[in-house]
Amino acid sequence: MTAKPVNLTEALASFIEVYSPRIVARMNDYDVRVAHTLGEHVWHTHHDTDEFFLVLNGRFDIAIREADGHEHTVVLYEGDTYVVPRGTEHKPSSPGGSILMFEPTGTVTTGDSHAGEIPAHVDSTTGHDLIN
């Protein structure tokens, strides 16, 4: 990671894979990641950390499953932010777009636990370094 500015438009143009985040910066013990979104992710939970999302373009939906089993969906559009609280089971999906996330370094995109098979288009990763 270098100490030079990163243009998010250029960063997103440097790869095409969906749900395969690139690390554009590190701050303290956190990664700043960008990702393309399209289709369904997987139900998953991050037991020890909140997850911050900023929609850069398009639409990004987050289905939330409460402890009592009740489900609802948070619908986000360009410029919207949302924090999924730690320990909350959630499933992102999108008709297409891109997002920016803040997560502790080493956080796995499919959580500490997940339900069902991970779709082939979802990269279970702690993020990839941005190559530019």
User: Residues 28-83: pLDDT tens digits?
Assistant: 999 999 999 999 999 999 999 999 999 999 999 999 999 899 999 999 999 999 99
Task: Name every residue whose Cβ is closer than 8 Å to that of residue 8 and which is 6 or more positions away in sequence.
Answer: 24, 34, 56, 100
Task: Indicate the pTM of the whole model.
Answer: 0.93
What was the pLDDT predicted at 9? 96
Q: How far is CA 57 from CA 10, 19, 26, 95, 106, in A?
A: 14, 14, 22, 11, 25
pLDDT tops 60 at residue 1: no
Q: What is the CATH number of domain 8-129?
A: 2.60.120.10
For the beta carbon of residue 96, count every other beta carbon within 10 angstroms: 13
Q: What is the pLDDT of residues 86-119, one digit of tens each?
A: 999 999 999 999 999 999 999 999 999 898 899 9
- Dist. CA 20–CA 130, nearest whole Å: 11
pLDDT tops 70 at residue 132: no
What was the pLDDT predicted at 63? 98
**What long-range pairs does 117-120 form, CB within 8 A, spacing at least 24?**
117/42, 118/42, 119/39, 119/40, 119/41, 119/42
Residue 8: band (very low, low, confident or very high) from pLDDT cuts 50, 70, 90: very high
